[in-house]
Amino acid sequence: MPGFPITMANPVEHAGPLPSEADVVIIGGGVIGVSTAYFLAKKGLRPVLVEKGRVAGEQSSRNWGWIRQQGRDLAELPIMIEANRLWKDIDADLGEDIGLTSCGLTYFAESAAEMERYETWVRDAAPTGVDSRVLSVAELDQMIPGMKHRYFGALHTPSDMKAEPWLAVPAMARAAVRHGAVIVENCAARVLERVGGRVSGVVTEKGPIKAPEVVVAGGAWSSLFLRNEGVKIPQLSVKATVAATNSLPELHSGGGVDLKLAFRRRSDGGYTLAAAGFHEMFIGWDAFRHLFHYLPQLRRDFAGRTYLPKAPAGYPDGWTTARHWGAGAETPFERMRMLDPAPNQRKVEDIRRRFMALLPDIGEVEIVASWAGMIDSMPDIVPVVDRAPIPGLSICTGMCGHGFGIGPGFGRIMADLVSGGDVGHDLGRFRFNRFTDGSKLDLGPDL
């Protein structure tokens, strides 16, 4: 299995050249952008995806690898159910192993109140047909024997899946190219071109490309790009730490999470571990600009993140990061090709010890790699998936750490949204103007 996650040390796989025209230009080579390019190409259109660094170089190869229906916002759930099906279709089309497996995913309950929240979610989600169910203590012990921590029960979804993200997204990109998409790495989008107020293309560092439709799917960078175009969304980002263990006995083939630790069996025989319920947030200009929008989330879980006074130079909300530039100027996206934050090593050791304490029969656990990623977040914990105020511009960003699993679902939706097809779902929950139209902020589930 190739090294994980993807970094700038990975060789350029999609070098261009940049076409002069496209039906759709997609900005951002994460799972959302790649999925959009894949489904547009399958429709017979000519999408061009530009990525400032490497495909899946940021959060799309740094996540847990969960393909999760359970615990989703109820507006996301039908899209996620579709995504589960699409992952299987895509896997059959790839011709290479991405570790896609139906394994079941499990939330462990630390309290009776948590069990009650799980029961409420299962009841509310039942009309969708998702196979989630609440497990008793005895059922949980039978499913994962040998756990030393005594939980109150669990929420479990047998049809939830897993895949290796550093394999899956690049494989999907290669499939998109086979179907007719063009992908160009090391090619940052600088500004939009417009004619009569409508999008007419994109100026990149490698030149202009004409297109009547543009999709911004830039993850943690989306807000910065859009602000320069006069389009404002209250998007921030937080750092999450992940680690990979050595090959270990298979005590559980799926994934589980409690308030402090998440784990998932990988296809190479190791486990991916993560510091659940722990995020680090770098304070910058946007953190102050958007504070009002985030107050409900902060009231609900202020202690769920650690606040750091200064982002590394060049980060999207860094104090010295440029907010405005023109078509002929070097942009922040060229100065910072990839967000590659240092993992929190204290948390890495903490989750290693917690994993061994939870499953002592697994033996001595060694960490063979650790990394961190910047998760793009929104105040209500659901993304923006909508047309922007500029005709011809669409936005799909702010996945709040849920993007890998649901990526094919939103990619298919974006392909139909920009080509005039049937999106097939109610996207009202994800509308662009929900933060400015006077609507009450409705937080997604705290699951």
In this structure, what are the phi and psi dihedrals at residue 331, rounded to the nearest 5 degrees? -105, 165
- For residue 48, how far is the Cα from the chain centroid? 21
What is the rounded distance in angstroms from the CA atom of residue 386 to the CA atom of residue 212?
16
In this structure, what are the phi and psi dihedrals at residue 376, rounded to the nearest 5 degrees? -75, 130
Q: How many Cβ atoms are within 10 Å of 386's Cβ, its own excluded?
A: 18
Q: How many Cβ atoms are within 10 Å of 245's Cβ, its own excluded?
A: 22
Please give the C-alpha separations between residue 215 and each of 48, 238, 401, in angstroms, as whole numbers. 10, 23, 20
In this structure, what are the phi and psi dihedrals at residue 310, rounded to the nearest 5 degrees? -150, 125
- The larger pLDDT score, comparing residue 16 to residue 113, is at 113
Helical H segments across 156-213, by residue range:
165-178
Strand extents, DSSP E, 158-235: 161-162, 182-184, 189-195, 198-204, 207-210, 213-216
Answer whether residue 252 shows pLDDT above 80: yes
Q: What is the pLDDT of residue 1?
A: 44
- For residue 291, how far is the Cα from the chain centroid? 22
Q: Are strands 153-157 and 105-109 parallel, antiparallel or unpaired?
A: antiparallel
The stretch 324-345 carries a mean pLDDT of 97
3-state secondary structure of 98: coil
- Model confidence pLDDT, tens digit, residues 295-310: 999 998 887 889 999 8
What is the rounded distance in angstroms from the CA atom of residue 342 to the CA atom of residue 280?
11
Q: How many Cβ atoms are within 10 Å of 366's Cβ, its own excluded?
A: 12
- Model confidence pLDDT, tens digit, residues 401-410: 999 999 999 9
What is the H or E stretch that residue 5 is in? none
What is the rounded distance in angstroms from the CA atom of residue 445 to the CA atom of residue 114?
12
Query: What percent of the chain shows pLDDT beyond 70?
Result: 99
103-128: burial string, b at 16+ Cβ within 10 Å, e else: bbbbbbbeeeebbebbeebbeebeee
3-state secondary structure of 238: strand
What is the rounded distance in angstroms from the CA atom of residue 302 to the CA atom of residue 307?
10
Burial of 88 per CB tally in 10 Å (0-12, 13-18, 19+) = middle
The answer to whether the beta carbons of residues 224 and 332 sit under 8 Å apart is yes
- Model confidence pLDDT, tens digit, residues 45-103: 999 999 999 999 999 999 999 999 999 999 999 999 999 999 999 999 999 999 999 99
Q: Are strands 213-216 and 393-397 parallel, antiparallel or unpaired?
A: parallel
Structure tokens at 43: 């429709």
Q: What is the pLDDT of residue 305?
A: 87
- Model confidence pLDDT, tens digit, residues 184-240: 999 999 999 999 999 999 999 999 999 999 999 999 999 999 999 999 999 999 999
What is the rounded distance in angstroms from the CA atom of residue 413 to the CA atom of residue 396?
10
CA-based R_g, the chain, Å: 21
Structural domains present in the chain: 24-435 (3.50.50.60)
What is the rounded distance in angstroms from the CA atom of residue 136 to the CA atom of residue 148?
16
What is the rounded distance in angstroms from the CA atom of residue 287 to the CA atom of residue 292?
10
The answer to whether the beta carbons of residues 417 and 423 sit under 8 Å apart is yes
The answer to whether the beta carbons of residues 166 and 9 sit under 8 Å apart is no
Helical H segments across 214-317, by residue range:
222-228, 285-289, 291-301
DSSP 27-55: E--SHHHHHHHHHHHHTT--EEEE-SS-T
Helix (H), strand (E) counts: the chain: 11, 22
Answer whether residue 447 shows pLDDT above 90: no
The stretch 232-252 carries a mean pLDDT of 96
Q: What is the pLDDT of residue 2?
A: 53
Residues in contact with 345: Cβ distance below 8 Å, sequence separation at least 6, in sequence order: 370
Query: What percent of the chain shows pLDDT beyond 90?
Result: 95
User: Helices 31-42 and 165-178, interaxial angle, to 10°?
Assistant: 30
What is the rounded distance in angstroms from the CA atom of residue 159 to the CA atom of residue 290?
37
Residue-averaged pLDDT of the chain:
96
pTM: 0.97
- Model confidence pLDDT, tens digit, residues 111-159: 999 999 999 999 999 999 999 999 999 999 999 999 999 999 999 999 9
- Model confidence pLDDT, tens digit, residues 355-383: 999 999 999 999 999 999 999 999 999 99
